[in-house]
Amino acid sequence: MNPCITYQYNINTLKCQFDTAARSGEMEKPMKRKFVQIAALCLCAVLLSLCAGGQRAAAAPAGSSDRIIRVGLHFGTGAMEGLNFDNTTGNGYRFGYYDGANQFVPLGSTGQKAISVVKTMNVYYGTFSGYTSYHSALTTANVAVGEYHLQLPGSYSSFAEAQAAASAYAGGFPAYIGGVFYARVGNYTARGGAETAQAALAAQGVETTIRGTSEYGISVVATGTNNILFQFDDLGQGTGMGMEPNAEGPGEYVTLSKGCTYVGGFRFERVNGGSLTVVNILGFEDYIKGVVPHEMSNSWPIEALKAQAVAARSYALSLGSKHSNYHFDICAETHCQAYSGRTRAGSNSDAAVEQTVGQVAIWNGKIAQTSYYSSNGGASESSSTVWGSNQANYPYLVGKVDPYEAASGVKNDYTKTVDSAALASKLKAKGCDVGDGVASIAVTSLTDSGNPKLVTFTGSNGKKFSLNSREVVGMLALSSYRYGFETAAAPEPSNPELSVNGKPVDSLSGLYAVDGSGNIVPVGENAYVITGSGATQPIGQGSGGGSNGSGGLGALSSTTGNNGVFTFIGKGWGHNVGMSQWGAYAMAQQGYTYLNILQFYYTGITVGYM
């Protein structure tokens, strides 16, 4: 087991903890000695610098909050045939499109507040898969919006002119097709119905043309009816239809859709002729206001929320346009960052964004990719371990023992049970022929932060296969990268031994640390050991207990299972790379600032503007 030594000081009235992990190769004799190397103490410089009061970010430069972001709400397999909107704080909607600079170009508007945007094909109003809107599968529903229309002669120079012409007929509506305005009448689910209506108008001396739809057509209807308000078709040019709430003076105009509330506008496109890809287009800082309360509770300490705001802002900007194939930048799912508009926002989360507006984490002149997760169970992990990335590209995403998270009180223990035969089957799928079953499992190598690095499986045929932790976590769907086995383990020593360069020391007297300014300061008496199970323990005060069956979390360990059943036991929730949200909560509760939090979890970064 490798302990982490934590030194506590009071410098300028700020409480600081300095952490460094003491390690020796692959720990050939775990659980037998605990030591610290003076050279390793230098690695704590970034934490020491936090104690000097942390960094103060400068005022936001002009224009830093003017960014626009395109957030994918529904796309791919989640694209919509029909989606409802309710404008509760404005006066209906205006229609148009977004230009290359994401600026809205208006074409026309409606005072109707409850509207639905549908793909122009035969769709029917009702409930399908738990959502009440327009669906192609509900062919027996009473309300149908058909894909055939009658088009009046000629074209028009504006939405208003086309609307005026169409309004002379029942069911008339303006249409914008390939950049040209037309007046259309009615909607019919079959061509025969359109032909009958065409003949009726012809008898009145009105000549019309029957129009179907291209695979890119989009219609706007009054929700719950077949009354078309506007039709848009870019004929596959990728323009898409834009929609924004009609504003009535200053204020925040909110749109309700599928249980969420949003600010900004929306873009609809039938990418590759499919169902509707729906994108929320809004100011970047408004987007961050929608991420922060979804990732952390609005009731959490403001400094934790500020750390989340900077992390979310940095992460989004570091990704660039991750979903360019769907014509938006970032999705609203955990694949990118969870986002639900204004749905969960509150004054606390809003203040966190406003007090850090424009601030990002920076490494070597670039915005850092500040990944985060719920909890790490006592130690974060390096990006190379979890994602197989080149660690040199993400030097700020390095694993470390986390002495803070445990104080949050989060319950993050989990178990995963698998029998020998099922495990053998999973291993065979990865090319590891272990025979009919697995005889034993062992953590044979640890990462620098004490999490499993290599796990060796011994089969019933005697063959051994080693998988890295990323493969094990993926194969077994473990909840985090901090895990071991449910077996008995030796108790923690009642009085941890402290060694320097392999030599035992009797006291902390005469030990020194180097702070972020290069000053040499005495260690003092408040030193702590972080045990393999994640507990923080002052040196000289015994834990007096065992591992509670954790089987060596944070240590080399092995198990033969229990009657052919293996139980993995772990702590944490998420990928363990970057900031622990519950750790940020605990740090904020202990009086640390958002800068302290960010600079602990993202090694060597600064916070500023880009």
Which residues, at least 6 apart from 356, have a Cβ–Cβ distance to it below 8 Å?
57, 306, 309, 310, 313, 594
Burial of 44 (0-12, 13-18, 19+ CB in 10 A): buried
Percentages helix, strand, coil for the chain, rounded to the nearest 5?
A: 20, 35, 45
The confidence band for 495, taking pLDDT boundaries of 50, 70 and 90, is low
Residue 370's identity, in one-letter code, is: T
User: Comparing 32-41, 389-398, 554-563, which segment has the lowest mean pLDDT?
Assistant: 32-41
pLDDT of 61 over the 70 cut: no
- DSSP class of residue 247 equals P
Q: Who wins on pLDDT, 578 or 27?
A: 578
pLDDT of residue 323: 84
- Total residue count of the chain as it appears in this document: 610
Question: For residues 368, 374, 376 and 377, what is the CA-based torsion angle, rounded to 10 degrees?
Answer: 160
User: Comparing 253-262, 289-298, 521-530, which segment has the lowest mean pLDDT?
Assistant: 521-530
pLDDT of residue 452: 96
pLDDT, tens digit (0-9, with 9 covering 90-100), for 213-248: 999 999 999 999 999 999 999 999 999 999 999 977
pLDDT of 86 over the 70 cut: yes
Q: Considering the entire predicted model, what is its pTM? A: 0.79
The confidence band for 322, taking pLDDT boundaries of 50, 70 and 90, is confident
Q: Who wins on pLDDT, 22 or 481?
A: 481
pLDDT of 33 over the 50 cut: no
What is the rounded average pLDDT for all residues in the chain?
84
pLDDT of residue 530: 53
Burial of 351 (0-12, 13-18, 19+ CB in 10 A): middle
The answer to whether 116 and 84 have CB atoms below 8 angstroms apart is yes
User: Comparing 102-116, 528-542, 551-565, which segment has the lowest mean pLDDT?
Assistant: 528-542
pLDDT of 103 over the 60 cut: yes
Q: Who wins on pLDDT, 108 or 552?
A: 108
Q: What is the CA radius of gyration of the chain?
A: 31
The confidence band for 38, taking pLDDT boundaries of 50, 70 and 90, is very low
- Nearest CA to 438 among 253, 579, 564, 586? 564
Q: Who wins on pLDDT, 4 or 434?
A: 434
Report CA-CA distances (Å) from 464 to 258, 453, 483, 563. 52, 16, 20, 20
The confidence band for 404, taking pLDDT boundaries of 50, 70 and 90, is very high
- Nearest CA to 372 among 569, 572, 570, 532? 572
* Token pair listed for 167: 């309004």
Residue 372's identity, in one-letter code, is: Y
Region of 152 (left: φ > 0; alpha: ψ -120 to 50; beta: rest) is: beta
Q: What percentage of the chain carries pLDDT values higher than 70?
A: 78
- DSSP class of residue 84 equals E
Helices 469-476, 420-429: crossing angle, 10 deg rounding: 120
pLDDT of residue 253: 87
As a whole number of angstroms, the distance between CA 218 and CA 209 comes to 19
pLDDT of residue 268: 98
User: Comparing 18-32, 42-56, 132-146, 348-362, which segment has the lowest mean pLDDT?
Assistant: 18-32
pLDDT of residue 42: 36
Average pLDDT over residues 461-483: 97
Q: How far out from the chain centre does Cα 381 lie?
A: 18
